[in-house]
Each structure stands twice: as C-alpha cells, then as structure tokens.
A and B are shown apart, each in its own frame.
Chain A
C-alpha cells in the first residue's frame, strides 16, 4: 500500500500548533490539540487596492505586472485624450512621464520600464507608437494601419498588435521588432476590443466586440489556431497572461451591454471561472496587466479610479482601507490632533463659521469622551500623545486679526498647563512630534502673510530652527524634529514635500495631488497624507503613502473633506486616524476614519473527508 510520504515525498507531521509560514505550503500536519488534519493552501482572490489619481473612463491600456504596472492615456469627458501616465508599485500609483500623443483606445505592451503603445484614437485613428523607459515616452516608428481598439501583447522589442477598428472591424496583425512594424498573417476574424495575452510567439486573442461567441484564437508567431472558448463572452475588460496557454480574462462587457464581474483562467485548453472582481467595468485596455496568477485591474468607468489586485498565494492578503471610527462629540475643524487609533486626542478647533472651541476629547478606538478644556479656545497645531499632548499657535479670530496665537499648552492626560510661547505667533502651521520634541513650521502671521519660520520645542521652550525654503501654510506633517516631513499646503496649492533633519531641509518626492489643509501622520520614511482641499471649491478623499522617497496612492477616505487639522500628528502610519473637518455643504464633520494597513496571514485549511 502506498503512503502519503511515498506519494508526496514528505510525511504528515503531528504538531501542537499550526504552521505559520507560507513556506510550508502543501505540508499536511495533524494538530494534536485540535484533533484536525490541516495544510497551507495557495489560492487566488481579488482584493481592492489604491486608486489611480487621473480620471480616465477607459480606452487605456494597462501594462507591466502586479508589482510594477503602467497605465497611460485614456479618455474622460473633461480630458478625452489625456497624456497622463501612472506607475503602480503593488500598493499605489504615482505619476510617470506623459505620453507624447494623448490618445485613447491604443494598444499597450511591455513592462513599467520598457513599455510600448501603438495606434489609438485622437479624434481620428492614428499610427503613432511610443516607447517608455520608466521615466519618459519617446516616439517610435509608425504602425502600418492606423486603427484603434486593437489587442496588444508582447514586449517593447517584440510586440504584437492584433485587429482593431478602422472604419470597421479589421483582422490585420502587426509585429514589432524594436525598430519597425511588419504586417504578418491576419487573425481569423475581423474583431476589435478583443483581449490579448502572451508574447509574440505564444499569444492568445480573447473574445472581443464582434466575437461575442466566446471564441479565442492562439498565435504561435506565424499561424492562428482556434483555442478554447470562454464561458462568458466579453469585450473591453482586463486581461493578463504570459503565453497562449496561461491567461486570464477579467470583467468587461458582455455584448450587447451588461458588464460582468466574471473572471476566467485559461490553461491552453479550457477556461475555468475563478473569483469575481468586486466592481464590473470596462477599461478597454485589451492588453495584459500581469500573469495568469497575479494581476491588477484598474480604471474603467466614469468616477471610478478603482484598482483591484488578483493574488495567488499561500497567504491571505487583506488590503489596506479606511474604516469608520466613533464620531466626535463636538463636530469641528482645524483642531490639534495627536495619538493613535486606540489612544487619540482632539484638542480645541473651531465650528463653522468662527466659533472657537476649547473642548478636549480623547479617543479609545471606539468612542470619543470629553476631558478638561484647553485654556484658550482656538484653532491650533497639535502634537504628542493622548497622555502627553501639545497644542501651539493657531487663532481665535479671522485671518489678519489680532487673534493669532503664540501660546503653547501641554496636556498630561488630565489637565492643561501653559508651556513656552512661540516667538512668532502664527496659524496654519505644519507641526508634529512629541510634547518634549515638537516642531512648528511655516504658517501665516497676523498680517495674513505666509512665512518660512521654523521653531522647535523641547518641552519647555521654543528655539528657532532653519527656515523653510519657501513660505507656505496649511499642509500636512509627520515625524519628529530630527526627522521631520512636511507636505502640501495652499499658499499656493502645492504637492511639494520637504524633509528636515533639524539642521536643514531637502526636497522629497512630490505628492501626486497638490492640496492643502490635509491630514498627515507617521514618520519621515513612512507617512500617510489624506483628504484636504484641492482648490477652494473641491475637497479630496485621496490618500497617499510616502516611503522616504516617493508618494503613491493608497485607498481613499470614505468622505472627502478638508481642515482636519492644521498639522500632522506623531502617529505611526500603522495606527493613524483622521477626525472632524469640513466638506462642501457640511462645514462641521464629526466623523472619524481609522487607517488599517495591509496584512497577510497564511491560508490554513482544515482537511476533512467530506
């Protein structure tokens, strides 16, 4: 009789505690405490990820891989032929170099550092091709047949452009060798908005707008043959895959109209349904964005900047997201905020239009509770922790009034005492740190002028620090005086990031969205920016994360708002929150949103006979 060890090369192990490392995938063990056989199993599933920053309904190709993706061009009513490019790092999107020719419905292929686009539509079909080097696009040789809505796959030096639409669907196929496009054997049917996956010598054309019967065709570099049929026909969805026998079809439109959440994987013979995307949509990229087992799916409809990830792993990945927290007892804005999700504090602030508040509220991770009031009602910058809080500066009068404050107050978890005063009274400062090591930078003074002034607090007194390179107010901030980070602002609206070490300032990577009066928390190398005002008439829900070098998008807040606080707070980016603020039409907001980081856990399955 055969044994499990003979069949699989390893024994079933008796243990008292489950394995916890994904490296044990496939290992079966007997948990003697639970009395159960268990194993770690790899599986594929979709999870939500961070949104793009550029609105594009569709007609944009996605390229690259799950951890190094690329998207460019596309269309939106306000920008029908955008040049905007964004790069995906597996967590979020950041700005890339612009296309030379803004267009939609083009073909895309290759990688984030070696991308390729071909054809497309700018009001008429074009023959343009462009190559991307990870920084900028450069124009390449024209394709032979101007057309749009082609399927594309392959690499920057071995591309494949299939079908599309001229004045009618076509079946023309062109290959690219890095220097010129050559027309080769035609595809079996005239077709457009069909997906493509694979490489030039092993590719698959997946369904399409004039091919709603689910038919797929495989290409070996010379000839086309019929492949397995999809269970659900579609066009204009997302696609992934590396060869003609390893592909995935993602969402899309099922002719003549309904969108589908359905996804299917192909093994060279048969399409098999896998888990569905959360939101059906039609990005119309028709190019691969990853492999059969690990891919991303982004954009696709008006108002939707969504990105979803498909991961096949022995780990269950729970993506980052904001969740609701307890509501403030006093809805307000522009107060000082500090602490973490289970131990936060909101200090002072104002209610619309100009009622200045002295309330202090503590957050326990579930609800806010009122504590002793600060001495001087005002807006304020905040820092510290729930048991060692700090507010400084701010105002209790209109801009340009005598209400601008220099006072500092310290909180010990119970009561407030006066600290040393700022040498320069101002409001809307950047500010963060601890009660004994905080900084206040920029802001506006009583004449309503923005300043470059920087001051550092040691627990009893403020001392002058190195001035900021440019006057600014109302941005986000994070970190400590020895490793400080300030970003954004609204004099004028800015995406600029500055890193400081207490001795001077250096430029960091710009945010993807310029904005002011936003929330910020974390450290100089691991910070979150969220919400804010992008112009006097619009608020943002966008969140971004900073890794010490560059910003990329993170999952958005549920409610777009501004004026959370005129400063950041010294939180870790793993347990931050935003509270209060204002939104258009609702100037006092009491809502709290808590930041939940991405987590992974091994996928342990119980083995039973049923």
Chain B
C-alpha cells in the first residue's frame, strides 16, 4: 500500500483541515492546490469531503511543476530591481 495519496482541493479557509484531521493523517499542501494526504481511511475520506480530485503522483507532480515553472517565468521577466526582493522559485519534488 502506498504511503500517500495525491489530490487537488481548494483551501476554503476555516475548517478546511481541522485539528483532528491533522492528528489522523499526514497532510501537506503544495502550489496548484495539490495536497499530499496520508493514505489511510480518514485521509481518503477527508479528500472526498473537500470535493478533492484524486490524482496519481505523476499527475500531482505535473501540476506542481507547472505552477513553479510559471512562477519561474514570471520571475525571469522581472526587472533587476524587482528580482532583488525575491529568489527564483525552485522545482518541488513531491514525497
């Protein structure tokens, strides 16, 4: 059994993930509304209840990579002065 499941879901704010949720399963958010969720019954139920769309790891990674690449392109287009205030986003590898 895989350790994680992957999906997209929009963080709607308060109650999106509760104190109890965080105790019941692993949860980590990434760009593109991608969430890595502990692969147990409660994690799967959470993703379903949040109207999440389950993805394969490759699909989730592609979404995150596309978001970061878009941010990289935006950064590359900044003026030299604006670049001083930030660093070029780096590709994220999902666990």
Residues of A within 8 A of B (CB): 47-48, 258-259, 261, 278-281, 301-304, 306, 318-319, 321-327, 350, 352-354, 365-367, 398-401, 536-538, 541, 555-556, 558-560, 582-587, 591-592, 596
Contacts and interface: CB of A to CB of B under 8 A. Distances in A.
Given A258-B1, A279-B38, A324-B14, A558 B85 contact: no
Contacts of B17: 323-324, 558
Nearest to A555: B22
26 contacts: A279-B3, A279-B25, A279-B40, A301-B3, A324-B13, A324-B17, A326-B13, A327-B13, A350-B85, A353-B78, A353-B82, A353-B83, A398-B82, A398-B84, A399-B85, A400-B84, A559-B28, A559-B30, A560-B28, A583-B30, A584-B71, A584-B91, A584-B92, A585-B31, A585-B92, A587-B71
B90 interface: yes
B52 interface: no
A549 to B, nearest CB: 27
A268 B28 CA distance: 41
A585 B89 contact: yes
Given A278-B38, A353-B86, A259 B1 contact: yes
Interface of B: 1, 3-4, 11-19, 21-32, 38, 40, 42, 64, 67-68, 70-71, 75, 78, 81-87, 89-92, 95
Q: Give the dominant DSSP class at A's interface.
A: loop
Contacts of B22: 48, 321-323, 555, 558
B87 A536 contact: yes
Contacts of A560: 28
Contact of A323 (B21, B28, B86, B92): B21
B90 A538 contact: yes
B19 A367 contact: no
Contacts of B83: 353
B68 A585 contact: yes
Nearest to A321: B22
Given A48-B23, A304-B95, A324 B16 contact: yes
Closest 5 CB pairs of A and B: A303-B95, A585-B68, A585-B31, A321-B22, A537-B90
Given A303-B95, A306-B26, A352 B15 contact: no
Contacts of B3: 259, 279-281, 301-304
Contacts, number: 129
A66 B72 CA distance: 45
Q: Give the dominant DSSP class at B's interface.
A: loop
Contacts of A365: 14
A370 to B, nearest CB: 15
A48 B26 CA distance: 9
A583 B31 contact: yes
Given A350-B85, A583-B31, A585-B67, 16 more contacts: A48-B24, A318-B19, A321-B19, A324-B17, A324-B18, A326-B14, A353-B85, A353-B86, A354-B81, A398-B84, A401-B81, A537-B90, A538-B90, A585-B32, A585-B70, A585-B92
A258 B2 CA distance: 9
Given A258-B1, A304-B3, A400-B84, A584 B68 contact: yes
A327 B89 CA distance: 23
Contacts of B16: 324
Contact of A399 (B12, B26, B78, B84): B84
Contact of A352 (B81, B86, B90): B86
Nearest to B65: A585
Residue among A324, A400, A583 having the largest count of chain B Cβ atoms under 10 Å: A324
Nearest to B31: A585
Contacts of A259: 1, 3
B13 A592 contact: yes
Nearest to A304: B3
Contacts of B82: 353-354, 398
A155 to B, nearest CB: 33
B1 A367 contact: no
A279 B15 CA distance: 23
Contacts of A367: 13-14
Contacts of A303: 3-4, 95
Contacts of A596: 19
Given A324-B17, A327-B11, A596-B19, A278 B24 contact: yes
Contacts of A401: 81
B14 A318 contact: no
A324 B24 contact: no
A558 B28 contact: yes
B29 A558 contact: yes
A301 B36 CA distance: 15
A213 B87 CA distance: 55
A584 B75 CA distance: 11
Nearest to A51: B26
A225 to B, nearest CB: 35
Contacts of A583: 30-31
A375 B86 CA distance: 25
Nearest to B3: A301
B92 A558 contact: no
